[in-house]
Amino acid sequence: MKQIVEWISVKDRLPIIPEGKYAISVLVVTFDSTYEELNPGHGFEVSISSYGKYQKSELFEESKENDFTTMYYGKDIIWGPTGDPVLYWMYMPEPPKI
């Protein structure tokens, strides 16, 4: 059975976090205007993000209760908001059957 996946605007709705979970993995589309200026036609990026609750850190104090987040690597691994605002998202597709 073919799974239908569609991009959803964050203006229309946000992901639903299943009961008993703190977050959900989703695909997101962000837009980097600086990169677009340097490389016209390449400002959009598709990546995996987590949507849900995370502990605020001193690096990312102005976050929402639920937000799109990504891992930042350094001395420690911390979660913080995506570098560019998320424009669209979709639930992760089902993995292929082996």
Q: What is the pLDDT along the chain (98 residues), one digit of tens a residue?
A: 455 568 999 999 999 999 998 889 999 999 998 989 999 999 999 999 989 876 555 555 665 556 888 878 878 777 777 878 899 999 998 888 88
d(C-alpha 78, C-alpha 22), whole Å: 16
Identify any residues that bridge with 60 across adjacent strands, giving them in sequence order. Answer: 57
Whole-prediction pTM: 0.76
Q: Among all chains, which residue has been given the structure tokens 């997101």?
A: 28
Helix (H, G, I), strand (E, B) or coil at 35: helix
